[in-house]
A = this chain, B = another copy of it.
Amino acid sequence: MAITFTVEKTAPDSRARLGKLLTPHGLIETPVFMPVGTQATVKTMTRHELEEAGASIILSNTYHLYLRPGSDLIGEAGGLHKFMNWPNPILTDSGGFQVFSLSKIRKITEEGVEFRSHLDGAKHFISPEKAMDIQMELGADIIMAFDECPPYPAEYEYVKQSKDLTCRWAQRCLDYHKRSDQALFGIVQGGMYKDLRKASAKELGDLNFPGYGIGGLSVGEPKDIMYEVLDDLIPEMPSHKPRYLMGVGSPDCLIEGVMRGVDMFDCVLPTRIARHGTVMTRSGNFTIRNKPFARDFLPIEEGCTCYTCQNYSRAYIRHLIKAKEVLGMRLTSIHNIAFLLRLMEDVRQAIREDRLVEFRNHFFSQYAG
């Protein structure tokens, strides 16, 4: 087995759990947030900055790396860990989501998906087998089955057929995947339809993947609907396998996801909003570009131990962002990543000490969103 997942503790009053996920490149404590390094770089950050901020695993995008610089080149470099100098665990997604959200002119058949690159318009074809080939070349610790992610909202019949296709593709990925040092996760789909979600969980559960993604959420639906889907779905998923809620990363959704039994999360949110000058704090996000911060010489968040807050003021960071200086978005990115990773550390500590509900209530009493 490429990975070992141990549930160390389950909360008494929620589905939250504390786990250890051992991978070929190191140990991950769960629940975990995975910063996203789309193009083999968590935007603006070095390996050492990520480690200092507390990152134990990062995610990278198969679709982007396949198109540029090419997975063959990364294979030649000795794999993604060596290429990007990140010796810790990596998860790669399957490329499915990006094919549907970024590329143009898609033709979906039983065989796979034909699409045009968002970079140069060149035609490409990705099948489940091709997605495995690419991810085997990249060499991440955890890789994802190739799936179709339906939009929101979508008709029941469409979502049902899509879920069935994703399930057949999952079987093909499993049959084709060969690297024993990689764990291949299946992806549960089914849109917002509870019966389809349950069916997907059952069908993929039978295929005995070492872990499961929950795809097709956080695609535009209200948060309450996402929470309801999780409430119904998670009891149907294998209890001893890691559950990864894909593309979710706001503080409130992380806490609510953990409460419902999610072990892993990823999202571009913290780094994306950082580049536009929005920073995350316990009392909510604020936009440091705004005028009130021009002469505010406090750190982004008092008491924060991140590099940014230890060294730079709001007024300085605002100046950098206004002046379009790269250091500005570096500093906001470092803070936001450190903020989310510390939040997850606090969440784990709360589970450990049987006070997650209390932690959650306290968090939401301060948090403005």
**Interface residues in chain A, defined as those with a beta carbon under 8 Å from any beta carbon in chain B:** 39-41, 43-47, 68-69, 73, 76-77, 83-85, 294-295, 297, 307, 311-313, 315-316, 318-320, 322-323, 325-327, 329-330
Task: Point out the residue from B44, B76, B323, B330 that lies within 8 Å of A68, measured CB to CB.
Answer: B323
Number of copies: 2
Shortest distance from the beta carbon of A193 to any chain B beta carbon, whole Å: 38
Nearest chain B residue, comparing its CB with the CB of A44: B326
What is the predominant secondary structure among interface residues of chain A facing chain B? Answer: loop
Report B-chain residues with C-beta under 8 Å of the C-beta of A47.
311
Please state if A44 and B313 are interface contacts (CB–CB under 8 Å).
no
Return 22 A-B CB contacts under 8 Å, by A number: A40-B316, A41-B327, A43-B326, A43-B327, A44-B326, A44-B330, A45-B327, A46-B307, A47-B311, A68-B322, A69-B315, A69-B319, A69-B323, A73-B319, A77-B297, A77-B315, A77-B316, A83-B315, A84-B316, A85-B311, A85-B312, A326-B326
Please state if B329 and A39 are interface contacts (CB–CB under 8 Å).
no
Seed contacts A44-B330, A77-B297, A330-B330; 20 additional CB < 8 Å A-B pairs? A39-B320, A39-B323, A39-B325, A40-B316, A43-B325, A43-B327, A44-B326, A46-B330, A69-B315, A69-B318, A69-B319, A69-B322, A77-B313, A77-B315, A84-B316, A85-B311, A85-B316, A326-B326, A326-B329, A326-B330
Closest 4 A-B residue pairs measured CB to CB?
A69-B319, A44-B326, A41-B327, A39-B323
Report B-chain residues with C-beta under 8 Å of the C-beta of A44.
326-327, 330
Please state if A69 and B39 are interface contacts (CB–CB under 8 Å).
no
Please state if B319 and A40 are interface contacts (CB–CB under 8 Å).
yes
Report B-chain residues with C-beta under 8 Å of the C-beta of A329.
326
The CB with the most chain B CB atoms within 10 A, among A69, A83, A318, A320, is that of A69
Q: A40-B316, A84-B316, A319-B40 are in contact. Are A295 and B325 (CB under 8 A)?
A: no
Please state if B297 and A46 are interface contacts (CB–CB under 8 Å).
no
Task: Point out the residue from B76, B294, B307, B323 that lies within 8 Å of A295, measured CB to CB.
Answer: B76
